[in-house]
Amino acid sequence: MNHKLKGTRVEKGLTQEDMAEKIGISTYSYLMKENGKRDFTLTEMKKICEILDKELSEIF
């Protein structure tokens, strides 16, 4: 599980569904990726960082 990602997402008041919609993937895919069962693509990671206003190294 990516604890930094989840913590930052929750801190910003965003749900997994919100994040999935913002980066253009299904909620299920996002859930699997945030829980470490699948990997985010580099493009998805960059979008997540933009949404959360963080650097890649701060989250991944």
CATH code assigned at 33: 1.10.260.40
Range of the domain at 9: 3-54
Asked whether residue 26 carries a pLDDT value surpassing 90, the answer given is yes
* Domain contains 36: yes
Domains identified in the chain, total number: 1
The average pLDDT across 29-33 equals 97
pLDDT value, residue 47:
98
Determine, yes or no, domain membership for 21: yes
Asked if residue 60 is part of any domain, the answer here is no
This prediction's pTM: 0.92
Does residue 31 lie in a domain region?
yes
What does the mean pLDDT of the chain come to?
96
59 assigned to some structural domain: no
CA distance 53 to 37: 24
Give the dihedral sign, CA 29/33/37/39. Answer: positive
Q: What is the pLDDT of residue 18?
A: 98
